[in-house]
Amino acid sequence: MPHTLQFRACLTIRPRNELDEAYEKIVWRPHVCGSVFRNRRNKELVTARLICKVDTRSISNIEHRNVATVAGIFYGCYNGLFEVILLQQHAELTLDQLRQLNEVELSSSCEQLVDGFQYLASTRPPFLVEDVRVNLSGTLKIVLDFRHQRDYINSTAGDYWHLQYTSRAERLFSLQTNGNLSSLGVQFHRLIWEQGMPSAEHSMSFSHKLEGQRDCKAQWHERLLYSFTDSN
């Protein structure tokens, strides 16, 4: 199973020359790739998206410190939107890896996050935790991959879930820094096992899906200013 996690950093800064300066600092760093986009509504704003790859088998080594250094360049030098994203790619993240990661990268409240995932694991839920995002304001966003288990999602639970084309479900938790994340597993458990079966009214024609995806891709590429990739 793959052992690579990706840390994503997203930042919006102005003016443009400051972004160029930051770009020069990070472009040659190992394990880093990313892109820079122009804001469509405000041409003075640009957004840099970085992806830093980390091997979970050596979480405390120099690779991990490189991630912290890149984050420090952005958050230490500029004002703007910054969020660290723990992105799980193609494999389940073990609880031990999650605990190790959170102790280093996030705040003390992440101990409660680990407690929530421990509860989730004990209930053997029919999904994988695919994406966990925690930003500096204390907002936690979790993306779940239900694979072919759509039958476990209830159509009436609109306040909790948003079904995406790729069979993923999202739940956005707004939290204070002292928020109680240990109830996370309880909420998931009740929603899935007590709400029942969904109706078939979620279906959408395949052609419409493809059309929407093409439009999104076209807009995305229009905004691309430049990108850089990991040389390894």
Q: Which two tokens stand for residue 158?
A: 């609109």
Domain range for 122: 93-200
- Above 50 in pLDDT, residue 7? no
Average pLDDT, the chain: 39
Least confident of 25-34, 135-144, 168-177: 168-177
Residues 81, 139 within the same domain: no
In a domain, 221, yes or no: no
Q: What's the CA gap between 46 and 42, in Å, rounded? A: 8
d(CA 203, CA 152): 15
21 part of a folded domain: yes
Tell me: do 71 and 168 sit in the same domain: no
Whether 225 is covered by a domain: the verdict is: no
Closest CA to 36 of 64, 90, 89, 74: 74
Evaluate whether residue 160 is within a structural domain. yes
Do 98 and 174 fall within a single domain?
A: yes
Same-domain check for residues 73 and 148: no
pLDDT in tens, 166-207: 233 333 333 322 333 333 333 333 333 333 323 222 222 222
Same domain as 85, residue 98: no
Residue 38 pLDDT grade (very low, low, confident, very high; cuts 50, 70, 90): low
Asked whether residue 217 is domain-assigned, the answer is no
CATH code of the domain covering residue 17: 3.30.70
Same domain, 1 and 45: yes
Cα separation, 8 vs 83, in Å, equals: 8
Percent of all residues in the chain with a pLDDT value above 90, rounded to a whole number: 0
> What is the reported pLDDT for 3?
39
CA atoms of 228 and 195, how far apart (whole Å)? 46
The answer on 176 and 143 residing in a single domain is yes
Residue 132 and residue 40 share a domain = no
For residues 212 and 35, the model is more confident at: 35
* Banded model confidence at residue 70, pLDDT cuts 50, 70, 90: very low
Is 114 found in the same domain as 29?
no
Is 72 inside a domain boundary? yes
Overall domain count for the chain: 2
pLDDT tens sequence across 97-135: 433 333 223 222 334 444 444 444 444 444 444 444 444
- Bridge partners for 145 per DSSP: 128, 168
